[in-house]
Structure 1
Amino acid sequence: MHFITGGAYNGKTKWAKRFYGLNNDCLWLSGYQNDQLDIGDFQGDIVVLQGLDAWIGQDVNKMDAGSIRKKWKGIMEDWRIWEKEEDGRTCIVIGSDITKGIVPMETKDRQWRDACGWVFQDVASISMRVDVIWYGISQQIK
């Protein structure tokens, strides 16, 4: 698993496409497009889960931050199992870091920020590689 994070509109997607040489032969699921996290009958080797922050934001309307964290631990474990089923498989997770700066005043916004921080920590801990992208420049931190 490869976790890529950084600020919004800082080039995470462009960097991932360039780093992996991605084209149309991967499965690209987007939280920004409300895609479902379902592998279906995909037979390729690379899955990109873009917009982790957006999927978490959708969950904030239905559950508390602790429940969100538990849910995403299960989802990430499923993707790790998918990776291990065949050699050469990679799951790339991309999420915009919303945890820096001023703490939001609205309760739901704070819950979203907290849940993102916890889920991002969990994803980073199980990932083989973690990169932070700022202004299109990567910094590998794991």
Structure 2
Amino acid sequence: MHFVTGGAFNGKSQWVKEYYKLNETPHQWISVYGGELPNLWTEKEAIYQQPFMVFDGIESVFKVWVQKYDVSDIRDMWRSFIDSWNEWEQNDPQRIVVIIGTDFSKGIVPLQALDRKWRDVTGWAYQDTVSVAERVEIVWYGIARQIK
């Protein structure tokens, strides 16, 4: 699993496309900016036939989840997601999972409690992702730095 993070509009998606030569590589790019993850257990076999999976915009999922669930449930749900995809990836050496998430932890502390919860949950989820990922990249202004 490869986790790519960095500031908003700093070139994360473009970097992933160029690094993995996705214009030449069969892949499934799933944008979750709508705030929902696909249901893995019913859809994985039918939809996810490509050996290369990209999940883009995961911070949006947490924004939706903090309005519906408590923090411990969100962490459990996210851990289940990354564990299932990590297992999917490990079952075939040709498979790669890339997760892209925006880092918005630097700067002003949000005034609204729900926005603070979103920021906190996103940070914890990113920590959980990093603990599973084999590789982690930070992209700022189109320049990537590998930190794991």
Query: CA–CA distance in 2 between the matches of 1:18 and 1:94?
Result: 14
Say whether the 8 Å CA contact 1:124–1:130 is kept in structure 2: yes
1:76 corresponds in structure 2 to 82
**What stretches of structure 1 move > 4 A for 4+ residues in a row?**
none
Give the letter for the 2:33 counterpart: Y
State how 1:1-142 maps to structure 2 within 5 Å.
1-23=1-23, 25-34=26-35, 36-37=37-38, 38=40, 39-41=44-46, 42-142=48-148
Task: Summarize the Cα distance change of 1:36–1:71 in structure 2 as closer, same or farther, 3 Å threshold.
Answer: closer
What secondary structure, in the 3-state scheme, does the structure 1 residue paired with 2:68 have? coil
Task: Summarize the Cα distance change of 1:62–1:35 in structure 2 as closer, same or farther, 3 Å threshold.
Answer: closer
- TM-score for the superposition, normalised by structure 2: 0.90
Query: Could you tell me the percent identity over the aligned residues?
Result: 41
What secondary structure, in the 3-state scheme, does the structure 2 residue paired with 1:32 have? coil
- TM-score for the superposition, normalised by structure 1: 0.94
Say whether the 8 Å CA contact 1:49–1:93 is kept in structure 2: yes
Quote the RMSD (CA, aligned, Å): 1.4
Query: CA–CA distance in 1 between the matches of 2:45 and 2:94?
Result: 19
Q: Structure 2: any 5+ residue segments left out of the alignment?
A: none
What secondary structure, in the 3-state scheme, does the structure 1 residue paired with 2:110 have? coil
Query: CA–CA distance in 2 between the matches of 1:35 and 1:59?
Result: 9
Say whether the 8 Å CA contact 2:135–2:146 is kept in structure 1: yes
Q: Structure 1: any 5+ residue segments left out of the alignment?
A: none
Q: CA deviation at 1:25?
A: 2.1
Give the letter for the 1:27 counterpart: Q
Give the letter for the 2:53 counterpart: V
Q: CA deviation at 1:31?
A: 1.4
